[in-house]
Amino acid sequence: MAAREWRRVQEESENIWVKCSGCQEILFRKDAERRLFVCPKCNTHMRLTVDQRLLMIVDRGSFVERDAVLSSADALGFRDRKPYTARLAEARGKTGRAEAVVCGVATILDQPVALGIFDFAFLGGSMGSVVGEKLTRVVEHAIDAQLPVVFFAASGGARMQEGVLSLMQMAKVSMALGRLREVGLPYLCVMTDPTTGGVAASLGMLGDIHIAEPQALIGFAGPRVIEQTIREKLPPGFQRAEFLVEHGMVDLVVERKDLRRTLGQVLSLLRDSVQ
């Protein structure tokens, strides 16, 4: 079989099957889609693309993207095993997106919202200068249009290839969310697996209500790093969504099948409370 034909067969095979990231069970893709990519064996909520998230959450045809053309530049000329520009090109080719976050406006059960949705497949959902700019712009639009804000976080944290320019985005987005709170508009953060690093330490923990998907890893440093630093064994389930609910850092853990309804209800209650 020719190499090109073999690659085509491999790609078709990969499109048919999905491997659970939790128990490694091989799932028929159609079955996984019907279950919203939740494993029937271990209940792992597998990572979603932005398009999949939108399809599951917003009212059909209501999403309008903002600032879609913004994309990162290599201000520092950063290079590790390959240039940052090459990594950006690969991520854009892999995801079909210009950046690691998609922002816009939509409705959820007829409740108008401003949205920011991270794509973990784009350089681990890392927050660079353009991610911070897009999130800040959509919050500023929400203030002007009097809309609540919902962010879906999925990130490894700040983008190392942009150095301090990336770290500055933590303060930048936090200040925008502070202005949102000053005018009395609600902010909900939905933390998915994983929400870590600078994203968890900034926008992830600034919500009026924090919602997490089951078993999502949420925290600043990872558990292995913490164990190696403090030289102690961490408790079972440390930094998982259920652990954080028990310790007051997350308000709700919501199954994916219930997330759209829950967001619609919460947004409706918050709307009524501020009117």
Q: Does 269 reside within a domain?
A: yes
The single-letter code of the amino acid at 57 is I
Q: Residue 63: inside a domain, yes or no?
A: yes
Residues 32 and 139 reside in one and the same domain:
no
Domain shared by 32 and 85, yes or no: no
- Per-residue confidence (pLDDT) for residue 274, from 0 to 100: 62
Same domain, 110 and 68: yes
CB 162 within 8 A of CB 122: no
Tell me if 9 is assigned to some domain. no
Nearest to 55 by CA among 91, 108, 100: 108
Q: Examine residue 168 and state whether it is found in any structural domain, yes or no.
A: yes
Structural domain includes residue 1: no
Q: Measured in whole angstroms, how far is the alpha carbon of residue 160 from the centre of its chain?
A: 18
Residue 275's pLDDT is: 56
User: What string of pLDDT tens digits covers the 275 residues of the chain?
Assistant: 455 544 554 444 457 889 999 999 999 999 999 999 999 999 999 999 999 999 999 999 999 999 999 999 999 999 999 999 999 999 999 999 999 999 999 999 999 999 999 999 999 999 999 999 999 999 999 999 999 999 999 999 999 999 999 999 999 999 999 999 999 999 999 999 999 999 999 999 999 999 999 999 999 998 889 999 999 999 999 999 999 999 999 999 999 999 999 999 999 998 876 65
Q: Up-side HSE of residue 12: CA atoms within 13 Å toward CB?
A: 6
The pLDDT value recorded for residue 185 is 97
Phi then psi for residue 235, to 5 deg, are: -70, 155
Q: Answer yes or no: do 238 and 203 share one domain.
A: yes
| 180 shares a domain with 267 | yes
Q: How far apart are CA 106 and CA 113, in angstroms?
A: 6
The domain total for the chain is 2
Residue 202 lies in a domain: yes
Short-list 272, 273, 252, 247, CA closest to 262:
252
Q: Are residues 22 and 143 in the same domain?
A: no
Say whether both 89 and 23 belong to one domain.
Answer: no
Q: Which structure tokens are listed for 203?
A: 């926008």
Same domain, 35 and 120: no
Extract the tokens encoding 192: 């998915």
Q: Which domain holds residue 61?
A: 47-274
CB atoms within 10 A of CB 216: 24
Say if residue 20 is in the same domain as residue 155.
no
In terms of DSSP H, where are the helices of the chain? 3-16, 29-34, 50-57, 84-95, 129-145, 163-182, 197-201, 223-230, 241-246, 256-274
| Cα dihedral value 224, 230, 235, 240, nearest 10 | -50
> How far apart (Å, rounded) are the C-alpha atoms in residues 270 and 266?
6
Q: What's the rounded Cα separation, in Å, for the pair 163 and 75?
A: 10
pTM of the entire structure? 0.92
Among 6, 26, 46, the domain-final residue is 46
pLDDT score of 1: 43
CATH number of the structural domain spanning residue 259: 3.90.226.10
Confidence at residue 6, expressed as pLDDT on a 0 to 100 scale:
45
Does residue 190 sit within a domain?
A: yes
91 and 144 assigned to the same domain: yes
Q: Do residues 20 and 141 both lie within one domain?
A: no
